[in-house]
Structure 1
């Protein structure tokens, strides 16, 4: 799974280039988060009902993973 490092100091971007960079960074972060949730849902969908019960989930819970 991918991880996103949020412990770095954030510098305030200046000017239009900084704003465009911030939008790009936000979009990439959102796409990475969405993809991680998608991969998790796909992996959980492949488990049997018994295996899902062992980890405290039901088949209906899979779509609520975000």
Structure 2
């Protein structure tokens, strides 16, 4: 009867898979963060100066508020 050992770990394969997964996760997170900042920037830019003043911002501080 033949047997094979299933308790051996395959060194390196989990590391590569983890790196690939982490790369795509980081890329997706970066795109999501960029899109959220874009939406916020567009919404704030559409406000009048008076509306911005009401929430404590000025037109020049929009980029600082978003944290570009």
Say whether the fold is shared (TM-score over 0.5): yes
Q: Distance in 2 between matches of 1:17 and 1:50?
A: 52
Q: TM-score, normalised by structure 2?
A: 0.72
Shift of residue 15, structure 1, vs aligned partner = 2.2
Q: Distance in 2 between matches of 1:41 and 1:61?
A: 11
User: Is the partner of 1:47 in helix, strand or coil?
Assistant: coil
Report the counterpart of residue 49 of structure 1 in structure 2: 49
Structure number with greater CO (CA < 8 Å, separation at least 6) is 1
Aligned residues: 53
Report the counterpart of residue 30 of structure 2 in structure 1: 30
Report the counterpart of residue 21 of structure 2 in structure 1: 21
Structure 1 residue runs of 5 or longer lacking an equivalent are 1-13
Moved over 3 A (4+): none
Choose 1 or 2 for highest CA Rg: 2
Q: TM-score, normalised by structure 1?
A: 0.74
CA RMSD, aligned part only?
0.9
